[in-house]
Amino acid sequence: MQFNSNFNDIAESYLFAEVAKRAQSYGESHPDKKILRLGIGDVTLPLAPAVISAMHSAVDEMSRKQSFRGYGPYEGYDFLREKIRGYYASFGVDAGMDEIFVSDGAKSDLGNILDIFSPGGVALIPDPVYPVYVDTNLMAGRKTVFAAADRGNGFLPLPDNSVNADIIYICSPNNPTGAVYDFGGLKSWVDYANSRGAVILFDAAYECFVHGNLPRSIYQIEGARTCAIEFCSFSKIAGFTGTRCGYTVIPRELVRGGLSANKLWLRRQSTKFNGVSYVVQRGAEAVFSPEGMSQIKQNLKVYENNAKLISDCLDGLGIYYTGGKNSPYVWLECPGERDSWRFFDKLLEEAQVVGTPGAGFGKNGEGYFRLTAFGSPEVTAEAVERIKKLF
């Protein structure tokens, strides 16, 4: 039996594993240096007290015969799906209970969703992009084409009718660039997808950073229910990166060749997935309580302040960047350097600050660099001071 040779087409290590490896190796050879990590977008604030208290109660329930729970529903407990439904309603989206599927995170669902598509076809992926979209399609042997995101289009590419695509990836607010589509931009993609029977995979993992009159969900766009699947996560909104919980929304109207994407996904999940633990789902439910919401908003404010600190620093240095507003990522042009891995080394060696090189997100990311606002305020402030001194 042979192994999947499509793996030959992807980079040997996952981008963030490579960044961590290089930072660790530098740390080992320079034990006296304090390294400040603003590379992977991993949260640093603890879970909100309301979440912790709900999880403690759930653990107690599991300790008693009368309230113990075994396998949960494949699509998630109703108590959590009702809350997710209510959250969507708060920005005007009507998502049916049977359209919401709870999972262990957006990253897994974004990879696993490919199970429901027929083999072949073309995936249209922005460049630069969250590497999971590209890698998972290459692993499946699907052809990928790229929509160039660059300074010229503000890192928000629009559809090109001469390009044929079957699956379209959109992430807004974007990882890595922090750019956010407006209603008109997303409407163009929805119209493009509907016109050719394509399916949009919309990654909304960073919607909680959106302020003002910008879309947080693809379903705020007319026509999206016939062409889009949306992925969201508790990782960024509520610090669940280590706890693991997310959700995917698949409208009933998303049907191709008589097959319902919603039904296929339920079939896929019930075959390959046994749900998220009861304790974690109770914690996720608490995110939507008034107390939980107010606590997580305070945490989000901390990350937003970090983003502002980084943006203000770049403004002061006259360095071009996108993001930082409506996004926890700041995407900057590498000052004085086109090679973003070389810039990574420079920042690590001369300032002991770790970021993520743009080239890791695609060809168009070359010359750019991503800093995350998910660090602690202290680490962010110190990193900013070191960057100021360097340039």
**Residues in touch with ligand MLT (CB under 6 A):** 16, 40-42, 107, 130, 175, 235
Q: For ligand MLT, give the closer residue by CB, 156 or 232.
A: 232
CB of 16 to ligand MLT, least distance (A): 6
Q: For ligand MLT, give the closer residue by CB, 175 or 262.
A: 175
Q: For ligand MLT, give the closer residue by CB, 80 or 205.
A: 205
CB of 314 to ligand MLT, least distance (A): 19
Read off the DSSP letter of residue 102. E
CB of 11 to ligand MLT, least distance (A): 15
335, 317 contact by CB (below 8 A): yes
CA distances from 115 to 83, 208, 265 (A): 28, 28, 8
CB of 166 to ligand MLT, least distance (A): 24
Handedness of CA 164, 5, 132, 267 (dihedral sign): positive
Q: Cβ atoms within 10 A of the Cβ of 2, count?
A: 4
The tokens describing 65, both together, are 């015969």
Q: For ligand MLT, give the closer residue by CB, 144 or 241.
A: 241
Q: For ligand MLT, give the closer residue by CB, 130 or 155.
A: 130
23, 39 contact by CB (below 8 A): yes
CA distances from 131 to 128, 135, 335 (A): 9, 6, 24
CB of 175 to ligand MLT, least distance (A): 5
Report the residue number whose CB is nearest to ligand MLT: 41
Cα dihedral 362, 367, 373, 375, rounded to 10, equals 90
Handedness of CA 359, 167, 178, 249 (dihedral sign): negative
Beta-carbon contacts of 300 under 8 Å, excluding residues fewer than 6 positions away, are 208, 209, 237
Q: For ligand MLT, give the closer residue by CB, 42 or 366.
A: 42
CB of 374 to ligand MLT, least distance (A): 8
With tokens 């998972």, the residue in question is 136
